[in-house]
């Protein structure tokens, strides 16, 4: 089937292979434990909607784990896709306190700066290097590494990819994900089968306060006790608590 952008079409197709292969493994583990799994459009408290590819829910239909795979061929798109992940997952975790873990599966060319930013928002990263994609697809006759302006190779790669059988596609997916799939499943399973973290396991507490003037004050504490003391100090019947807010 002719497409306007064969490089994008091939990238999307390979990304879908990765997504389906890993999500099927998560599903096989989660369903016997009483959880459901599937894509979902989730809305936060401000009315913003985010499409999440994999949401694991408990028997009360509450989201517990969210998983988002993201593929990049060119590093110039790191900021856009990385920022989307940070904003989406952070806002959804605020809106749904039942979410205990958020995961992203990064495939392709991701910079160290983008990965550090994503981790800074509490998102667990599993990575499939671009080199792995190139090696696996090349082994099945599909070129995957070309210059951005080389449309001829991109189109040839897309045409070859479309001739692959279901068995070949399954083999490609398995070869691409074999380095991370067991780790992803283990991470999700650990969250689903363990109790909510108790106080002695908490090492970082973040507070985001919003004032009546739509100002935001962010604070970080090493202990629950420290955060609690800070909040208790704000419990005062005064019109302006700005002098008591922890700034910086």
Question: Which tokens is 132 given?
Answer: 């792995």
pLDDT at 240 (0 to 100) = 61
Sign of CA dihedral 127, 131, 136, 142: positive
Sheet of 101-108: strand order equals 36-43, 49-57, 63-72, 101-108, 123-129
SS3 (DSSP) at 213: coil
Start and end residues for every CATH 3.40.1350 domain found in the chain = 6-193
Nearest to 109 by CA among 129, 79, 137: 129
pLDDT of residue 197: 52
**pTM, to two decimals:** 0.80
Angle between helices 130-139 and 166-177 (to 10 degrees): 150
CATH 3.40.1350 given to domain 6-193: yes
pLDDT in tens, 65-116: 999 999 999 888 788 888 999 999 999 998 999 999 999 999 999 999 999 9
């Amino acid at each position: 089937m002719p497409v306007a952008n064969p490089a994008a079409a091939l990238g999307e197709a390979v990304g879908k292979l990765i997504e389906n292969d890993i999500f099927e493994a998560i599903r096989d583990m989660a369903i016997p434990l009483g959880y459901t799994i599937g894509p979902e459009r989730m809305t936060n408290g401000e009315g913003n909607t985010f499409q999440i590819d994999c949401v694991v829910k408990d028997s009360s239909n509450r989201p517990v784990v969210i998983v988002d795979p993201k593929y990049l061929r060119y590093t110039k798109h790191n900021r856009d896709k990385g920022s989307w992940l940070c904003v989406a997952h952070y806002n959804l975790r605020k809106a749904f306190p039942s979410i205990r873990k958020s995961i992203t599966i990064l495939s392709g060319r991701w910079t160290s700066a983008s990965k550090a930013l994503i981790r800074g928002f509490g998102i667990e990263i599993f990575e499939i290097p671009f080199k792995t994609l190139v090696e696996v697809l090349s082994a099945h006759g599909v070129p995957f590494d070309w210059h951005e302006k080389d449309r001829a190779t991109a189109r040839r790669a897309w045409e070859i990819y479309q001739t692959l059988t279901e068995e070949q596609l399954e083999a490609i997916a398995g070869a691409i994900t074999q380095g991370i799939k067991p780790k992803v499943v283990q991470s999700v399973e650990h969250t689903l089968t363990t109790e909510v973290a108790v106080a002695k396991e908490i090492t970082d507490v973040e507070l985001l306060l919003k004032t009546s003037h739509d100002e935001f004050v962010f604070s970080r504490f090493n202990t629950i006790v420290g955060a609690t003391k800070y909040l208790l100090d704000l419990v005062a019947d005064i019109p302006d608590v700005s002098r008591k807010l922890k700034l910086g």
